[in-house]
Structure 1
Amino acid sequence: MDDVARALAAAGRPAADRMTTLGGGCIHRVCAVTLDGGERVVAKCASANEHPMLREEQLGLERLAMTGCVRVPAVLGPPPTAETPVLLLEFLPAAPATAAAWSRLGSDLARLHATPAGARYGFEADNHLGRTPQKNDWHDDWIAFNRLCRLGPQIDRAADAGRLEPREHDRLRRLLDRLDSLLPPEPTPALLHGDLWSGNALVTRDDDDGVRVAVIDPACSVGDGWADIAMMRLFGGFPEACFAAYEQAAGRPDDVERRVRVYQLYHLLNHLNLFGRGYAGGVMEAVEALGG
């Protein structure tokens, strides 16, 4: 409570009247805070040594908001610090989902991925995918970025932790060596949410547009827009109307299914590293589907 009080003071907000823990905070404690006067905000609270993860999230939310393409909660305070490891965000009230809202999300994502994001792949800062560190060094080549900053580090992490059998590790390394046959070298660089599973999509009531799907908890980078769609498809929870609206606006490249499998492999490897050998079968099925 003291950390939240300091964060509210630093943001020039009234004091907290009461706090309620919200579900869905996989890493940090998330609370709805009712302020004196009745306004509600969200406080994400970390330990002092994990405050950089909150700063990464704040940067991602701010960069997504700058595009004007997708609905995200507004950041309400200064960056979290070790002394005040709290991220204050706009409270987004939940609303019943509608088909129109999901279609709008697909269109929003297509606009996001069509918005110019520079000429290179990476991001201005490293961040985390869940608890996994995510390198975002800038690269001119998308294949090199995926080899050195995405698949390669996940494969190395899994091997070092003993989560891969030697034969599995060899097959993954061989796939990495022929990545240039699986991905385009220069897809249009787009700002990505980066961690777009259904738990990070919140149906909310928008003052201007009725019901809308907002996106939260990003792990941003600049890359191929289909990487966001790949994760959405992998773990489910998004209706077909969302994907149909995306494809109507963005088109559908001939090699999209192969791209999607590669991007899904990254998330399967991350789950292998986070949660153990229960995901090894899914990893190797993806390798098999890619001809490895």
Structure 2
Amino acid sequence: MTGPDVITEQTARDVATVLRPLGAVVRIELLTGGMFATTYRVSLGDGRRVVVKTAPTDTDRLLRYEHDLLRTEAAVYALAADRPDLLMPRVLLTDLSRTVFASDVLVVSHLEGVPLVDAGELGAGVEETIQRQLGAFMARLHTVQGERFGYPNRDAGLHAETWTEAFGSMVEALLDDAGRWGTVLPCDEIRAVLVRHRAALTDVRVPVLVHTDLWAGNLFVDPSTGALLGVIDTERSVWGDSLLELAGADQLGRGPAPAALLDGYAAEGGAFGLSTASGATRLELYRLYMSLVLLVEIAPRGYAGDWLAAHRSTAAANLRASLDALA
């Protein structure tokens, strides 16, 4: 019944219990690649495959914005339920009781295609097609508008009537988390640039749905054609500025967005406003924010390995570059 050996008999029983309304479990596979939730691919007796996702149970090690993220993911998928052009899985079942697993459980449909991160070497034309389709997807996603700015989880308190206030609280929460975990940051400088560039943030007047994590692991593609078939992991979505999407899609990068991506965004009627002084400033603020996320999460996640030094160094260098650019 189980796949990899790391899936215990108790886990298998718990998965079967949660999935009982959908059918009998035939096989369970642990999916790797994520660094937050635990995810299983499950084959059912009727031939369907579904994805079961459970949140971390050690909530003391979560950053403030990370609490109840699976509820946000389910809510965003629900928003996309009547929008097939948003390419998201369908929610099949949720268990928010925390009685079977000690955390929330989300069950969604299995997407076609393969994660872009696993697609192997692609031809230049295929890569360009993927970027253009990703830009078009972003534009469609950003037509979904909300009522307030910030993270959807109201309990976290990271939301407000204005983007200036919401984004400020998002940054401040990360600085608080950094202090709690002993991560040394130039907090005074960070707060100073937020004050200095408050006017640019006030230019954002309509909260749109921003995925914030459109890296290659969250994109399902047809590697032969470059068709974008699906998008997952919406748990970090924010009601905010569409420009935040560019920083989230390339969290360790500082170069310009791919031209094909920008072309795809424009072809769907989107406009990032990158050529304006306000747009350029806001993108730099969002790169600063993403660098903060990458640095602050290291301690509570307990990251380790040969990759960590380079990861930390790049995130720190990007933070410094953003601060210098905004000073």
Q: 2:109 aligns with which of 90, 111, 114?
A: 90
Specify every segment of 5 or more residues in structure 1 that has no aligned partner in the other structure, as ranges.
128-133
Q: Do the aligned partners of 2:178 and 2:184 also contact (CA within 8 Å) in 1? A: yes
The SS at the match of 1:76 is strand
Q: 2:189 aligns with which of 171, 175, 180?
A: 171
Distance 2:58 2:174 in 1: 23
Q: 2:320 aligns with which of 270, 280, 284?
A: 284
Cα distance, 1:262 vs structure 2 = 0.6
1:226 corresponds to: 243
Q: Do the aligned partners of 1:192 and 1:225 also contact (CA within 8 Å) in 2? A: yes
The answer to whether structure 1 residue 145 and structure 2 residue 154 are counterparts is no
Distance 1:224 1:268 in 2: 17
Cα distance, 1:142 vs structure 2 = 1.3
Cα distance, 1:158 vs structure 2 = 2.1
Q: 1:105 aligns with which of 114, 123, 134?
A: 134
Q: How does 1:115-154 map to 2 (within 5 A)?
A: 115-118=144-147, 120-126=148-154, 135-137=157-159, 139-148=160-169, 150-154=170-174
Q: Do the aligned partners of 1:117 and 1:189 also contact (CA within 8 Å) in 2? A: yes
The SS at the match of 2:202 is coil
- The alpha-carbon distance between structure 1 residues 126 and 67, as it changes in their structure 2 partners (threshold 3 A), is farther
Q: How does 1:1-292 map to 2 (within 5 A)?
A: 1-9=12-20, 12-46=21-55, 52-85=68-101, 86-95=105-114, 98=126, 99-118=128-147, 120-126=148-154, 135-137=157-159, 139-148=160-169, 150-164=170-184, 168-203=186-221, 211-218=227-234, 219-235=236-252, 240-248=259-267, 249-253=269-273, 254=276, 255-275=278-298, 278=313, 279-291=315-327
- The alpha-carbon distance between structure 1 residues 48 and 212, as it changes in their structure 2 partners (threshold 3 A), is same
- The alpha-carbon distance between structure 1 residues 54 and 193, as it changes in their structure 2 partners (threshold 3 A), is same
Distance 1:111 1:68 in 2: 11
CA RMSD of aligned residues (A): 3.0
Specify every segment of 5 or more residues in structure 2 that has no aligned partner in the other structure, as ranges.
1-11, 60-66, 300-311
- The alpha-carbon distance between structure 1 residues 189 and 66, as it changes in their structure 2 partners (threshold 3 A), is farther
Distance 2:229 2:259 in 1: 15
| Amino acid aligned to 2:322 | A
Query: How many pairs does the alignment contain?
Result: 275
Q: Do the aligned partners of 1:55 and 1:79 also contact (CA within 8 Å) in 2? A: no
The SS at the match of 2:174 is helix
| Amino acid aligned to 1:152 | E
Moved over 6 A (4+): none
Q: Do the aligned partners of 2:150 and 2:167 also contact (CA within 8 Å) in 1? A: no
Identity %: 27
Q: Do the aligned partners of 1:76 and 1:88 also contact (CA within 8 Å) in 2? A: yes
Q: Do the aligned partners of 1:31 and 1:44 also contact (CA within 8 Å) in 2? A: yes
- The alpha-carbon distance between structure 1 residues 287 and 244, as it changes in their structure 2 partners (threshold 3 A), is same
The SS at the match of 1:256 is helix
